[in-house]
Amino acid sequence: MSHKVTLIPGDGIGREVMLAAKRCIDAAGVDIQWEEQIAGQEAVKKFGSVLPARVFDSIKKNKVAIKGPIITPVGKGFRSVNVQLRMSLDLYACLRPCKLYKGVKTRYSQVDLVIIRENTEDLYAGIEFSEGLTRTKNIIDYIEKLSGYLIKKDSSVGIKPISISASRRIVKFAFEYALKNKRKKVTAVHKANIMKETDGLFLNATREVAKDYKGRIEFEDRIVDNMCMQLVLKPELYDVLVLPNLYGDILSDLCAGLVGGLGVAPGANIGDTMALFEAVHGSAPKYTGLNKVNPTAMILSGVLMLRYLGEDKAADRLEKAVSYVIAKGKDVTYDLKVERDDPGAVGTKQMADAVIKRMKNLKK
Ligand code: NAD
């Protein structure tokens, strides 16, 4: 079967890792027609916008997209392209498997976690009001009147919306994922002891949804700070984690660290009718154009995409080839070598070449 997929190369190392991933996906034996769309810094130069309307049009038409990382400058006036895409397309579930592949150097012997992060609300949605503006002062006055709490007048203010509907649907997604992928346990992560209304609502929603899966999937909850410690000490005790947006963002990097770093952490943003696949890592600007960084996270995001497209055989073949190359430890990038300055480390392109070569052998 033929598939049409929107391909967004992204900024910094984006084009390098995306090209490597595209070559690997094509070599997995699927018929994909790629529709390249530019977003980010290159789109600013070409179209005067970081996120031209044609990108949305293409994703809405094709329903499936794969994207390299896109820079979000720190400071005022820049809304993250990544957040805009997830929110505007209602890609509410962020799926981030963190699996330890044999041959990756880490402190752990067994990690196989899946992070499911709510993608559309919470502090991460970026609803913020700048210090000094009249409307910010008005908000501060209003909140003081309503709550009785004093807020310093020279504050910026951020809003943390957490809804029953968004909480319920992400937790349902987590349980359905657990069932479909033969997982045993879902752990909800929150800070409901302090944020009683927002995280409290999230926790109540998770408990309600969990009732529907009683006897089929185990359920528990953890406070986010404790969860961080537990994950560092004994990650093998956890399975599927479901979290609101901001905690999900932070724990994604923590869990990527457990399985060897950002170079091997893939991701997907999934909605009811479409999906956008991307690595957890960013555009790592200092490595741009050096053919140095690890393409694995982007290739494994491609594996997730192939599974979403129903191409399980191709996905298995590609994942097997990646895990073989990593386990061999020869044709891998610097971050997968025992010593980071190992002169035997290969480049982004050469690691992808090794994966493609292995797939050819697997087919025989
Ligand atoms: P980053 O993930 O780009 O890089 C942090 C460090 O991680 C790098 O310096 C490098 O040492 C390592 N790293 C990242 N990817 C790697 C790879 N493929 N192989 C080997 N090592 C790798 O994080 P940052 O420096 O905080 O962010 C840079 C830019 O990327 C920012 O503008 C940020 O907003 C953006 N960003 C985008 C996305 C996205 O598009 N989804 C995600 C995160 C960050």
Catalytic site includes residue 225 = yes
Q: Both ends of the chain: CA-CA distance in Å? A: 22
Q: Which residue in the list 57, 141, 212, 225 is annotated as catalytic?
A: 225
Q: Which of 191, 199, 324, 353 is catalytic?
A: 191
CA distance 76 to 80: 11
* pLDDT tens digits for range 300-311: 999 999 999 999
Specify the pLDDT at position 73. Answer: 76
| CA 33 to chain CA centroid, nearest Å | 24
Per-residue pLDDT of the chain (364 residues; tens, 9 = 90+): 899 999 999 999 999 999 999 999 999 999 999 999 999 999 999 999 999 999 999 999 999 999 999 998 776 666 788 889 998 999 999 999 999 999 998 899 999 999 999 999 999 988 999 999 999 999 999 999 999 999 999 999 999 999 999 999 999 999 999 999 999 999 999 999 999 999 999 999 999 999 999 999 999 999 999 999 999 999 999 999 999 999 999 999 999 999 999 999 999 999 999 999 999 999 999 999 999 999 999 999 999 999 999 999 999 999 999 999 999 999 999 999 988 899 999 999 999 999 999 999 886 5
Buried residues in 109-143 as b, exposed as e (16+ CB within 10 A): eebebbbbbbbbbbbbbeeebeeeeeebbebbeee
CA dihedral 50, 54, 55, 59 (to 10 degrees): 160
Helices 348-363 and 312-328, packing angle to 10 deg: 120
Candidate of 94, 249, 262, 276 to mutate for ligand 1, largest count of ligand atoms within 8 Å of Cβ: 262
Q: Which of 111, 102, 95 is nearest to 303 (CA)?
A: 95
Instruction: Answer whether 299's CB lies under 8 Å from 281's CB.
Output: no
Give residue 25 CA to ligand 1 midpoint distance, Å: 22
For residue 325, the model assigns a pLDDT of: 98
- How large is the angle between the packed helices 164-180 and 198-211, nearest 10 degrees? 40
* CB environment 296-314: b (16+ within 10 A), e (fewer): bbbbbbbbbbbbbbebeeb
pLDDT at 77: 63
Output the CA–CA distances (angstroms, integers) from residue 27 to 62, 111, 310, in the order listed: 21, 29, 17
Give residues with Cβ within 8 angstroms of 123, minimum separation 6.
Answer: 158, 159, 160, 245, 246
Tens digits of residue pLDDT in 261-286:
999 999 999 999 999 999 999 999 99
CA atoms of 60 and 17, how far apart (whole Å): 24
> How distant, in Å, are the alpha carbons of 209, 217, 219, 221, 308 from that of 171?
7, 12, 11, 12, 19
Q: How far is CA 304 from CA 53, 152, 228, 232, 358, in A?
A: 26, 46, 26, 26, 19
pLDDT value of residue 1: 86
**What b/e string do you get for 193-231 counting C-beta neighbours within 10 Å, with b at 16 or more?**
eebeebbbbbbebbeebbeebeeebbbebbbbeebbeeb
Predicted local confidence at residue 80, as pLDDT:
86
> 19, 84, 277, 283: which to mutate for ligand 1, most atoms within 8 A of CB?
283
pLDDT at 72: 85
pTM: 0.94
Q: Where do we find the tokens 């029953």?
A: 164
The CA 282 to ligand 1 mean position distance, Å, reads 3
Phi, psi for 305 (deg, rounded to 5): -65, -45
Residue 304 CA to ligand 1 centre (angstroms): 20
Cα distance between residue 22 and residue 228, in whole Å: 34
Residues 63 and 44: their CA atoms lie apart, in Å, by 24
- Binding-site residues, ligand 1, Cβ < 6 A: 17, 69-72, 82, 262-263, 278, 281-284, 293-294, 297, 335
What is residue 296's predicted lDDT score, i.e. its pLDDT?
Answer: 98
Which of 141, 112, 7, 74 is closest to 282 using CA atoms? 74
Query: What distance in angstroms lies between residue 283's CA and the mean position of ligand 1's atoms?
Result: 5
Ligand 1 atom 16: residue of nearest CA = 263
